[in-house]
Amino acid sequence: MLTQDIAKALAARLDGDGTIEIERLVHPAQARGPADLALAVSAGAAALLANCPAQAVVVSASRPVPPGSFRAVIAIDEGRMALATLTALFDPGPVRDKGVHPTAVVAADAVLGEGISVGAYAVIGAGSRIGAGTSILPQVTVGANVSIGADCMLHAGVRIGDRVIVGDRVIIHANAVVGSDGFSFAPDLNSPEGFKPGVKVTRVHSLGNVEIGDDVEIGACTTIDRSTLEVTRIGRGTKIDNHVHIGHNVTIGESCILCGMVGIAGSVTIGDRVRLAGGVGVGDHVTIGDEAAVAAGSGVATNVPARTFVSGYPALPHQRSLENFQYLGRAKRLHAKVDEIAARLALLEKK
Amino acid sequence: MLTQDIAKALAARLDGDGTIEIERLVHPAQARGPADLALAVSAGAAALLANCPAQAVVVSASRPVPPGSFRAVIAIDEGRMALATLTALFDPGPVRDKGVHPTAVVAADAVLGEGISVGAYAVIGAGSRIGAGTSILPQVTVGANVSIGADCMLHAGVRIGDRVIVGDRVIIHANAVVGSDGFSFAPDLNSPEGFKPGVKVTRVHSLGNVEIGDDVEIGACTTIDRSTLEVTRIGRGTKIDNHVHIGHNVTIGESCILCGMVGIAGSVTIGDRVRLAGGVGVGDHVTIGDEAAVAAGSGVATNVPARTFVSGYPALPHQRSLENFQYLGRAKRLHAKVDEIAARLALLEKK
Amino acid sequence: MLTQDIAKALAARLDGDGTIEIERLVHPAQARGPADLALAVSAGAAALLANCPAQAVVVSASRPVPPGSFRAVIAIDEGRMALATLTALFDPGPVRDKGVHPTAVVAADAVLGEGISVGAYAVIGAGSRIGAGTSILPQVTVGANVSIGADCMLHAGVRIGDRVIVGDRVIIHANAVVGSDGFSFAPDLNSPEGFKPGVKVTRVHSLGNVEIGDDVEIGACTTIDRSTLEVTRIGRGTKIDNHVHIGHNVTIGESCILCGMVGIAGSVTIGDRVRLAGGVGVGDHVTIGDEAAVAAGSGVATNVPARTFVSGYPALPHQRSLENFQYLGRAKRLHAKVDEIAARLALLEKK
């Protein structure tokens, strides 16, 4: 790709040679030659430019390089979106087979779209449909009567249960599981009946389904349980990190971010553009409103209103959690102060 | 299945036509026709009955429908157990192969019971025995000399290590791992030796085993480590959710409930009918007594007596955790009160 | 193996017969005959020796057995390292195929070292190299252009992404994932832009790599994400338990211990010989110094200096966390004391 095309994709100014053929996007420390484009937007990366063998660089417009230092300089205003654009331009995706690998077991009545890739030892069940341009890497299991959209990427070892519906452009990372059974029993998990000697814990079967919207990303080893009778739903554009657990009957809105190791118990409802930081736990039947955010490691036991930032265990409005934490840090001094007051009071009382 | 047979299975009263042939159990919102049985026990579901095209319904005896609204009305007293019974009646289970798929690699001396299903690309190691009626879905690995009981269900991608013993009617969800090595080293993880520059962390190998009792359920991506020399044991009827980590040398009793993302360190002992809510962590060598319960997100660092409910990090008897949390919320007012007292005291002292 | 050779490996004193042929290392409760070596270093295990049918035992030098109780007695000074040595001597490792199983799909240009084992339905991608003596168990996926060193053990269902570099003697447990994509988006996850209605969450692709040092161990269902442009690095001798999440751009030093369910967000830097106990979360861009330790369940939000022990949520120097917790437990009494002081003060004021 030519430097001028890269600048165009970034809608950024290019100073110098627009015709350098770029093959790799690199950190300045790893640049080796003229086909490398060094990305040096952060101060740390920019400091490495002095000895960088690359001839083309992307820098922050607010941190310009001396004129003539490089054959081509692309200056950007906002680093994060530029990083997204640039990494997308240079990502070849995983190496994969063209077409269906001869060892893949594809049901006779499965319907495969054009231009798909199905890797070695993948299994696609009866009645399933895979959209055009979708890649299924080795050893993936797609159950029966599954519907997967176009241009998806299912990494190695992904398990998709029967009847699950997956939208377009969905990415599912290695060893994730979509459509496992819900964890639901009689008597109810919290019922006193459950503690009685001789109790037989009887399972509630999961007859429902999972539906994954377009442009969703699901992390490695993440699991999403099917609903008891309805549908566990992940809204369009929502991104889910590794090791996330999404229980049965859960509804998650659009463009949410669920970071690593988030755990969502059954029957939770989450709005749109909600951000759950790493390790957050959400108790069953809780509702979290649109554009709410939860700080890392928090335990959400009660509903969170829209546009609220909560933190802590149990989670409170962040300002209150912070206050609690600060007052806790002053407890020692408070105890000393009260002791001193008590002594002075006793002295007064003696008079 | 006829409505009268369903009522019989529920030991419930049927008003109306007992001869409707039912094919699906549905939420009222998803009912489409006469072969659907609408389950409307909750108030929310019952509210949808007005426009429900189903002809047969299950309702709460305490929330009867107007006479004549449906051709068949089954009225139940307790919803949870009815849900367990009904979902079991209508769960066909995952679609699976009859017999052994031609691509499965089954060791010559493995012993397979009658009526089993072994899916595509499953591997069953030397000397292993699989009980009658057990289903092994695609791409499962069963190691060598493993014993699996009758009527079990191993979902896709499950890994069972060598020599592991699994009881009857055990369900293991996709990508779970039973019989991984324990995480054990010399010097001891907590020993000051471990911090010395030049330390070589030497592994303690896991020569022991894992035994899973009858009627156990193990969630997706859950891992259970084998013991160093003895047996990591999961008692009969215990149910384990997704992403649960059970360390080496652990003993868990019967009819316990371990919710999602529970982590149990090595050498922990857990009694019968214990309930660990989501995200609970249990430190190594801790003992938890029969019928104890631990609230979600708690960190258990010390022994928990039988029939005790603990919560918090570190976990305390729940009443004390609650009290601590409440007093923390009053710390700001307490500081203000002490300041005010100090001012009044200073005033008195001046007199 | 002869008792005298075992004593020699342990550098320990042997009393009695050095020529007993030992086949198994067992807990005293599981000893069955003369080929069993009973390991009874703990007081609990030693108590079982009275009725133990083994003829050879390993005991603590500080807890000697009566002369003549056994045909061979090996007395050791330090139990932990002896356990490591003994379990290594008697661990045959998982049962595996000799050479390459006929069903394995190995790319024509992959380079396999001598004495390797590749199990059924394993897939090894184009341009990859596997070192001598390495075992790849069934259904493992090795991507393209991967480099794996000598004498490694990859358990069933492990996924290694393209280009990943793995050192020598690395053990990776079942269903672990090395080289998944990082969780990185524009706008930034914490940016207010991310909450705007209509926001399109755009992914930052992961062009970087993962490098795993020699003698590393990686637990079952653990995931390690590749870097955006550089390398996610795990230093030599570091041991990682099950369900651990290591984000993109992370650097972890040598001989660290990461216990079960630890979660490390992106761009974290961890020094050498650091110990993270179970369930610890580390926020993005945090640095943890050499020989630091973090208590179980803690949430690390700020940098941790070398040789510091922190605990709590958010993590503080352990002494301060402990103090906070203790003062919290005294809050009720403090409130009562302040009430009492206020009453006495009011009385004085009335005079």
Q: Is there a single domain that holds both residue A175 and residue A135? A: yes
Find, in chain A, the residue whose alpha carbon is nearest to that of B157: A157
Q: How far apart are CA A83 and CA A86, in angstroms?
A: 5
Q: Give the pLDDT confidence score for residue A188 in this predicted structure.
A: 82
What token pair was written down for B339? 């300041």
Query: Which CATH number covers residue A44?
Result: 3.40.1390.10
Q: Give the pLDDT confidence score for residue A198 in this predicted structure.
A: 86
- The DSSP annotation for A183-239 comes to --EES-TTSGGGGSTT---EEPP---EEEE-TT-EE-TT-EEEPPSSSEEEE-TT-E
Residues C89 and C37 sit within 8 Å (Cβ to Cβ): no
Segment B89-106 shows an average pLDDT of 96
Q: Give the pLDDT confidence score for residue A113 in this predicted structure.
A: 98
Residues C101 and C119 sit within 8 Å (Cβ to Cβ): yes
Residues B264 and B248 sit within 8 Å (Cβ to Cβ): no
Burial letters for B298-323: b for 16+ Cβ neighbours within 10 Å, e otherwise?
bbbbeebeeebbbbbbbbbebebbeb
Query: Which of A26, A56, A89 is a domain's end point?
Result: A89
Query: B192 burial class (0-12, 13-18, 19+ CB within 10 angstroms)?
Result: exposed
Residue C194's pLDDT band, with cuts at 50, 70 and 90, is: confident
**pLDDT mean across residues, chain B:** 96
- Tell me, what DSSP letter sits at residue B196? S
Segment B31-53 shows an average pLDDT of 92
Give the nearest partner residue to C201 out of A237, A329, A338, using CB atoms. Answer: A237
Interface check for B348 against chain C (CB to CB < 8 A): the answer is yes
Burial letters for C274-292: b for 16+ Cβ neighbours within 10 Å, e otherwise?
bbbbbbbbbbbebbbbbbb
List the beta bridge partners of residue B130.
B112, B148
- What are the tens digits of pLDDT across the range A19-73? 999 999 999 999 998 999 999 998 999 999 988 999 999 999 999 999 889 999 9
- Phi–psi pair at A64, nearest 5 degrees: -70, 155
Give the nearest partner residue to C349 out of B202, B338, B344, using CB atoms. Answer: B344
Interface check for C188 against chain A (CB to CB < 8 A): the answer is yes
Q: Give the pLDDT confidence score for residue B191 in this predicted structure.
A: 82
Interface check for A137 against chain C (CB to CB < 8 A): the answer is yes
Q: Would you report the helix, strand and coil content of chain C in percent, each value rounded to 5?
A: 20, 30, 55
Alpha carbon of C248: minimum distance to chain B alpha carbons (Å): 21
- Tell me, what DSSP letter sits at residue B194? G
Q: Among residues 23-62 of chain B, which lie with CB inside 8 Å of chain A?
A: 25-27, 29-30, 39
Domain count, chain B: 2
Q: Is there a single domain that holds both residue C18 and residue C84? A: yes
Strand ranges inside C77-121, DSSP E: 99-100, 105-106, 111-112, 117-118
Interface test with A, best of C103, C140, C178, C201 (most A CBs within 10 A): C201
Give the nearest partner residue to C341 out of A120, A137, A341, using CB atoms. Answer: A341
- For residue B307, list chain A residues with Cβ-Cβ distance below 8 A: 195
Which residue carries 């480590």 as its tokens?
B225
Q: Is the dihedral of CA C87, C88, C91, C95 positive or negative?
A: positive
What token pair was written down for A225? 């349980």
| 3-class DSSP state of C292 | coil
Query: Which of B72, B89, B106 is a domain's end point?
Result: B89
Which residues span the domain enclosing B344?
A: 326-350
Q: Is there a single domain that holds both residue A148 and residue A279? A: yes
* Crossing angle between the packed helical segments C318-329 and B318-329, to the nearest 10 degrees: 90
**pLDDT at residue A189 greater than cutoff 80:** no
What are the distances in angstroms from CA A240 to CA A223, A277, C201?
A: 10, 11, 12
Q: Which residues of A are catalytic?
A: 248
CB contact set of A9 (below 8 Å; sequence gap of 6+):
A85, A86, A89
Q: Is there a single domain that holds both residue A37 and residue A116? A: no
- For residue C105, list chain A residues with Cβ-Cβ distance below 8 A: 101, 103, 120-121, 138
Q: Provide the residue type at C54 as one letter.
A: A
- If one counts every other C-beta atom within 10 angstroms of the C-beta of residue C319, the result is 11
**pLDDT at residue A192 greater than cutoff 90:** no
- What are the tens digits of pLDDT across the range C61-107? 999 999 889 999 999 998 899 999 999 999 999 999 999 999 999 99
**pLDDT at residue C190 greater than cutoff 80:** no
| 3-class DSSP state of B328 | helix
Binary contact (A88, C196; C-beta < 8 A): no
Smallest CA-to-CA distance from B73 within B7, B139, B152 is with B7
Q: Is there a single domain that holds both residue C64 and residue C112? A: no
Q: Give the pLDDT confidence score for residue A321 in this predicted structure.
A: 95
List the beta bridge partners of residue B159.
B141, B177
Q: Give the pLDDT confidence score for residue A136 in this predicted structure.
A: 98
In a domain, B55, yes or no: yes
In a domain, A225, yes or no: yes
Q: Is the dihedral of CA A325, A269, A227, B36 positive or negative?
A: positive
- What are the tens digits of pLDDT across the range B154-165? 999 999 999 999
- If one counts every other C-beta atom within 10 angstroms of the C-beta of residue C30, the result is 16
Q: Give the pLDDT confidence score for residue B231 in this predicted structure.
A: 97
- Phi–psi pair at B137, nearest 5 degrees: -80, 175
Q: Provide the residue type at A127 as one letter.
A: G
- What are the tens digits of pLDDT across the range A161-183? 999 999 999 999 999 999 999 99
- What are the tens digits of pLDDT across the range B173-224? 999 999 999 999 999 877 888 888 988 899 999 999 999 999 999 999 999 9
Q: Is there a single domain that holds both residue A84 and residue A124? A: no
Interface check for B255 against chain A (CB to CB < 8 A): the answer is yes
**pLDDT mean across residues, chain C:** 96
- What are the tens digits of pLDDT across the range C270-283? 999 999 999 999 99
Q: Give the pLDDT confidence score for residue C79 in this predicted structure.
A: 86
**pLDDT at residue C121 greater than cutoff 80:** yes
Query: Which of B89, B110, B136 is a domain's end point?
Result: B89
- What are the tens digits of pLDDT across the range C255-306? 999 999 999 999 999 999 999 999 999 999 999 999 999 999 999 999 999 9
Q: Is there a single domain that holds both residue A47 and residue A191? A: no
Give the nearest partner residue to C242 out of B139, B194, B223, using CB atoms. Answer: B223
List the beta bridge partners of residue A15.
A73
Q: Is there a single domain that holds both residue A140 and residue A268? A: yes
Long-range contacts of B133-138 (CB under 8 A, 24+ apart): B135/B93, B135/B94, B135/B96, B137/A141, B137/B94, B137/B96, B137/B174, B138/A105, B138/A123, B138/A141, B138/B101
| 3-class DSSP state of A148 | strand
Q: How far apart are the first and last CA of chain B?
A: 91
In a domain, A280, yes or no: yes
Q: Among residues 160-179 of chain A, which lie with CB inside 8 Å of chain C?
A: 171, 173-175
Percent of chain A at pLDDT > 70 equals: 100
Residue B22's pLDDT band, with cuts at 50, 70 and 90, is: very high
CB contact set of B58 (below 8 Å; sequence gap of 6+):
B6, B10, B12, B37, B38, B39, B40, B41, B74, B75, B76, B82, B86
Alpha carbon of B204: minimum distance to chain C alpha carbons (Å): 4
Interface test with C, best of B101, B141, B222, B224 (most C CBs within 10 A): B141
Q: Provide the residue type at B303 as one letter.
A: N
In a domain, C291, yes or no: no
**pLDDT mean across residues, chain A:** 96
Q: Give the pLDDT confidence score for residue B53 in this predicted structure.
A: 92
Q: Give the pLDDT confidence score for residue C293 in this predicted structure.
A: 97
- If one counts every other C-beta atom within 10 angstroms of the C-beta of residue B6, the result is 24
Residues A284 and A267 sit within 8 Å (Cβ to Cβ): yes
Binary contact (A221, B219; C-beta < 8 A): no
Residue C188's pLDDT band, with cuts at 50, 70 and 90, is: confident
- For residue B335, list chain A residues with Cβ-Cβ distance below 8 A: 327, 330, 334
- What are the tens digits of pLDDT across the range A100-140? 999 999 999 999 999 999 999 999 999 999 999 999 999 99
- What are the tens digits of pLDDT across the range B48-67? 998 899 999 999 999 999 98
Q: How far apart are CA B304 and CA C226, in angstroms?
A: 41
Residue B14's pLDDT band, with cuts at 50, 70 and 90, is: very high
Segment A194-222 shows an average pLDDT of 95
Q: Give the pLDDT confidence score for residue B193 in this predicted structure.
A: 84
Q: Is there a single domain that holds both residue A82 and residue A231? A: no
In a domain, A54, yes or no: yes
- What are the tens digits of pLDDT across the range B244-271? 999 999 999 999 999 999 999 999 999 9
Query: C148 burial class (0-12, 13-18, 19+ CB within 10 angstroms)?
Result: buried
Long-range contacts of A110-113 (CB under 8 A, 24+ apart): A113/A150
Q: Give the pLDDT confidence score for residue A195 in this predicted structure.
A: 87
Q: Is there a single domain that holds both residue C71 and residue C144? A: no
What are the distances in angstroms from CA B325 to CA A316, B304, B311, C325?
A: 11, 20, 11, 11
How many residues are given for chain A? 351
Prediction pTM value: 0.97
Query: Which CATH number covers residue C159?
Result: 2.160.10.10
Interface check for C105 against chain B (CB to CB < 8 A): the answer is no
Find, in chain B, the residue whose alpha carbon is nearest to that of C170: B203
Q: Is there a single domain that holds both residue C83 and residue C129? A: no
On the CB side of B252, how many CA atoms lie within 13 Å of its CA? Answer: 33
Q: Give the pLDDT confidence score for residue B51 in this predicted structure.
A: 86
In a domain, A94, yes or no: no
- For residue C207, list chain A residues with Cβ-Cβ distance below 8 A: 25, 87, 90-91
Interface check for C13 against chain A (CB to CB < 8 A): the answer is no
Q: How far apart are CA A136 and CA A96, in angstroms?
A: 9
In a domain, C224, yes or no: no
Q: Is there a single domain that holds both residue C78 and residue C7? A: yes
In a domain, B68, yes or no: yes
What are the distances in angstroms from CA A338 to CA A326, A332, C285, C332?
A: 18, 10, 41, 14
- What are the tens digits of pLDDT across the range A218-239? 999 999 999 999 999 999 999 9
Smallest CA-to-CA distance from C321 within C339, C295, C283 is with C295
Segment C243-248 shows an average pLDDT of 98
Residues B125 and B142 sit within 8 Å (Cβ to Cβ): yes
Q: Among residues 289-308 of chain A, which lie with CB inside 8 Å of chain B?
A: 299, 301
Q: How far apart are CA C295 and CA C315, in angstroms?
A: 9
**pLDDT at residue C351 greater than cutoff 90:** no
Q: Give the pLDDT confidence score for residue A190 in this predicted structure.
A: 77
Q: How far apart are CA B253 and CA B239, in angstroms?
A: 11
